[in-house]
A and B are shown apart, each in its own frame.
Chain A
């Protein structure tokens, strides 16, 4: 017999109103922030009649004389040095087009990857023909942002052995505003699961990879079988991350670990209930606040 739960749209619970005060001043579209005299306008604002007005709904961030409004939810806006996870959408002449949850597809130039075997040479015509052997359409990869073009699109590179094609695991997509910029985005969690938190909101969960793929340039795919306990751990982490995302908790290694601990009293599949998600999110937030 199927277990069906029906949730009404209008009764969707507000998950976060129980905690804390809201000190932040929210600006809505078209609201005047200040006069234009001493300030420069940044993202999320526009100028009209000598006044700086907000063009999105969000919180004002002022850095010296630069005023910008950070929207609550938006597409990923890249910066140099960010770690991203992307999916190949197209193969063009001497480059791959990668979807990274941003306004325009990013670009991975053929000169920005490591050749298999770790050679260092100029890419020739033969390399162009064999691009498909390295990365095909719909492949997943992890990379770092090398450059941001004028129109806002990103140029990626995989010039390190930790970047490259991703083989077995689960990909989750959350809002990019939930990801903090930190020093390290590759984590091996104590439960036996490796997590890559992309700044663009894509999170990759996979079994811990042993470092014996060197010499391959990161483009080999290991298709070994994965044990059941590993799979359970991976799925549990995935459900925890989703619970955190739906409760608007920032996602980083500490929060994922706390959420994992909270979730151990449930079975992995019970974590899909809205109420369980709420509880886990709430408890994780409490723990994080206590830790500070």
Chain B
């Protein structure tokens, strides 16, 4: 099933150009009972993220083992059973893949949240992936960023994540879908704080699967970072329109 990743006219399997992102839509504050929530559509990948906290630490046995005044950040990621195309997804306890995603999310956000302000408190992040079509980790990171902002958690910057791939001819493709992941080449996922100017101190997470030549690392990196910038613009717009809605009503009355 070797399909052409990039046809002669420069179109990919789903009709996009090499540098185009899929359609992204997002909404903040979708769950009323949670302190912060967000819903994100990235092509056909759909994710809901919800934040509970910061609050007093619950009395789990896991929390007792930690020493002192630490900021407790719990992450839970779940794939819905109907999320994959076709087969029903079995619920596997202690799955290594999910465990790894949770650990990575913890590390990514701990590097951006101003942890000093939340000592002794607990923050719970719950992620439910409703539909998967490639770039799940990306969408999860973006949705979690939105949920954290909705909950009013102090952070240094937005974290945006994006994927990029490489064809056999060395052309970088932005934002891989599931089909491109399977029959294509390597997939690079980056979570970064897009900053203008030099990119120092901006990459929070990198993950690569399958192999490619070292000399192409530059290209694929640049492509993914550019994708992060674009996604940041989209998130920013969504946040501002949501904020206007709130500001209109409450704070102007103060």
* A and B in contact, CB less than 8 Å: yes
Give the B-binding residues of A (Cβ under 8 A). Answer: 9-10, 12, 14-17, 19-20, 22-24, 26, 28-30, 44, 46, 48, 53, 55-59, 70-75, 89, 97, 99, 103-105, 151, 177-178, 180, 246-250, 285, 288
Report the minimal beta-carbon distance from B193 to chain A, rounded to whole angstroms: 8
8 Å CB contact of A103 from B54, B239, B251: B54
8 Å CB contact of A22 from B41, B151, B152, B248: B248
Query: B119 contacts the other chain (Cβ, under 8 Å)?
Result: yes
Give Cα distance in the complex from A247 to B246, angstroms.
9
B240 surroundings in chain A (CB, below 8 A): 26, 28
Query: B127 contacts the other chain (Cβ, under 8 Å)?
Result: no
Query: B128 contacts the other chain (Cβ, under 8 Å)?
Result: no
Report the minimal beta-carbon distance from B46 to chain A, rounded to whole angstroms: 10
Contact A285 B251, CB 8 Å, known A28-B239, A55-B114: no
Contact A72 B247, CB 8 Å, known A55-B156, A57-B149: yes
CB-contacts of B32-75 with A (<8 A): 32, 35-36, 39, 41, 54-56, 69
A48 surroundings in chain B (CB, below 8 A): 156
**B contact face: mostly helix, strand, loop, or mixed:** mixed
Give Cα distance in the complex from A217 to B75, angstroms.
44
Contact A103 B243, CB 8 Å, known A20-B248, A22-B248, A72-B251: no
Give Cα distance in the complex from A48 to B154, angstroms.
14
Give Cα distance in the complex from A44 to B243, angstroms.
16
Report the minimal beta-carbon distance from A152 to chain B, rounded to whole angstroms: 9
Report the minimal beta-carbon distance from B124 to chain A, rounded to whole angstroms: 13
Report the minimal beta-carbon distance from B28 to chain A, rounded to whole angstroms: 9
CB-contacts of B85-129 with A (<8 A): 114, 118-121
Evaluate contact between B153 and A24: CB separation under 8 angstroms: no
8 Å CB contact of B35 from A75, A177, A285: A75
8 Å CB contact of A75 from B32, B54, B150, B248: B54
CB-CB nearest in chain A for B252: A24
Evaluate contact between B249 and A12: CB separation under 8 angstroms: no
